[in-house]
Structure formats: structure tokens, C-alpha cells
Amino acid sequence: MKTNALAQVAELNAMPMPQLKERWKAVIGTEPPVQNRAHMVKRLAYRIQELAFGGLPEETKERLREIAESHTFEAKRPGKSTPIIGTRLIREYNGERHEVTVVHNGYEYRGRHFKSLSGIARVMTGTHWNGPAFFGLRKPGKVA
């Protein structure tokens, strides 16, 4: 059964979307909630393994519920399109690797604090850029 589960997980990436949707209905028992292929594959893989190997122990589920209820998860993101605090954005530019860390109230790049990704892109390139587009968080020309 466990080997079969691993084979089922391995097959998910090669499935065409209609077959993936049918697999979702069979394994999860509902209509697929989204058209996002990556989400569907990850969720299906988790559920298939959960059924084969077992889920989290009840004590762990209870502890996670307690943590969730005791914390407020608002204000973790400086802006709507900003990744969560602690995320590292990596961009190679002119053969050099650049790392930016999302911090409270902005970004950190090479020990300096910036309020926007556009400011960092300007420092890196010497020209004006849409920061989220430069770092691949948004398609160029698209407004948040």
C-alpha cells in the first residue's frame, strides 16, 4: 500500500489537468477549488500520503489549533503584494547573485534597509525598475 501511494504521488506531475481534477474528486471527495495546478498537485500528494501513512497525531493537531487561536497573523506583510517577513528573494543580475530579505517595514539588501524593491533594483542596476517585476513577483507592466 505504501509503495502504491508513492507511485501515485509520482504520477501526479505528469497528469493532464482534466485527469488531475478527476483524481482530486476521487481522493479528496470534492470539486477542485482552484485551477492552480501546483496547488492541486501538492494538496493531492499530501492527501495520498496522509491516507497511506497516517496524518498528524491528535495531540499535534490540538497544539496547532491552540497556537493558531492564540496568535494574530495580521500585519505580517508590509504590503499586499509583499512576501511574508523572512522571505529571501534571490536575483542574478550581470552574473552576480543578489539576495534581499523581507523585513518588517521593508527589505534588507547588503546590510541596508529599503522601503521598496524598486529602490533596491535601482541600486543594483543604476536605472529605474518596477521592483516586484524585477524580482519576479509580478509580470512586467502589471499593476498590483
- The pLDDT of residue 105 is 85
- The pLDDT of residue 38 is 87
Element (H, E) at 109: strand 106-109
pLDDT digits (tens, 9 = 90+) for 17-42: 999 999 999 999 988 877 788 888 99
pLDDT category at 122 given cuts 50, 70, 90 is very high
Whether residue 135 contacts residue 121, with contact meaning beta carbons closer than 8 Å, is answered with yes
Q: Is 29 left (phi over 0), alpha (psi -120 to 50) or beta?
A: left
Give SS3 for 78: coil
Q: Write down the domain spans for the chain.
A: 2-56, 88-134
- Cell numbers 509503495 correspond to what residue? 3
The predicted model gives 63-73 an average pLDDT of 75
Amino acid at 64: L
Residues in a beta bridge with 93: 96
CA 59 – CA 80 distance, rounded (Å): 34
Bigger pLDDT: 71 vs 7? 7
pLDDT category at 44 given cuts 50, 70, 90 is very high
